[in-house]
Amino acid sequence: MSLKETRIAEITSRMGNNKILIIGDIMLDEYLFGMVNRISPEAPVPIVEITSDRFLLGGAANVAANIKALGDEPLLLGTVGEDEASIKLNQLLKEKHISHDLLINDSFRKTTIKTRVIANNQQIVRTDRENCHELDKDIEQKALNRFQSVANEIKAVIISDYGKGVITLSLLEKVISICCEKDIFIAVDPKETHFHNYKKVSLITPNHHEAGFAYGKRIKNDNDMLEVGNGLLKRLQAKSILITRGAEGMSLFRDGFPPTHIPTFARKVFDVTGAGDTVIASFVSAVCAGADLVEAAVIANAGAGLTVGEIGTSAVTVELLKTELERNIKNGRLHEALSQ
């Protein structure tokens, strides 16, 4: 197979015209930037002199930001607390013109905040403030009702599961059932401990650690990758599994086809935070625009390569994707990937 510039132009010109629902664990990402010049006299730890801070959308909210950047309309469904963090999160959504109409305020949960301290361009520590208990039945029913209220409008669903309690087995089964009935493309960014709940979905996007854990075999080489990828595909009855492999790129497994291995397009790696969100958003947006699964995987790979070159979560535009893909056509990387 050869992916040409004309086909890239065709797919990217169609991206950005669909409603895509994102359901999952919504987070607020806080970044504290500073410098380390000395060690604490109280304990053998660095003292970070904070010079600036930044708040970004995280978790399912970052997937929504990626979908928005690609031009599609994200519908974000999940829970937030009744706290200051939820107010800040709503402000960030408003700034990016992402609707919060489907969000559910849950007084029994706090809004998840992940704080990362970055010193001398390196992450020193991360702290998490969160609740991980499952939704109670009333909140779960509200989530299902809100999903059903927009099910006839959407082209795809992205499940963003970080294991914080929003994606319950009961809710997941009902959402998958409705998507299958309505022929809605459903993609899952999985939590490894929930892996075997994601049956009969269109796409699952684990990294190689998550995939190996879920299958029960550590991936050490290409033969292990083949066994795990094909085994999970069969076990979950999924249409496709895209396993991200860090510096080794990605491997796409499809029902009824041999696997496709795609080398990384990244030129530099500063921060992998949010790369998985970019992968699933780019893949789903491309599928909604008419790309086949291999084409969508190549486009997602280009998106990931752009994201890891930035500090913090960052959203990729269609124009950036197009430029990156054209660059890799000209240098032969796409041909290398798709001729394997």
Residues with a known catalytic role: 277
What does 202-251 look like in DSSP terms, one character per residue? SEE--BHHHHHHHHTS---SHHHHHHHHHHHHHHHT-SEEEEE-GGG-EE
**Phi/psi of residue 153, each to 5°?**
-100, -20
Question: What is the SS3 assignment for 39?
Answer: strand
* DSSP code, position 184: -
Look at residues 282, 253, 221 and name the one whose alpha carbon lies nearest to residue 70: 282
Which residues 6+ apart lie within 8 Å of 246 measured at CB? 207, 208, 264, 272
Take residue 264 and report the two structure tokens written for it.
């990384």
Residue appearing with tokens 């490894």: 192
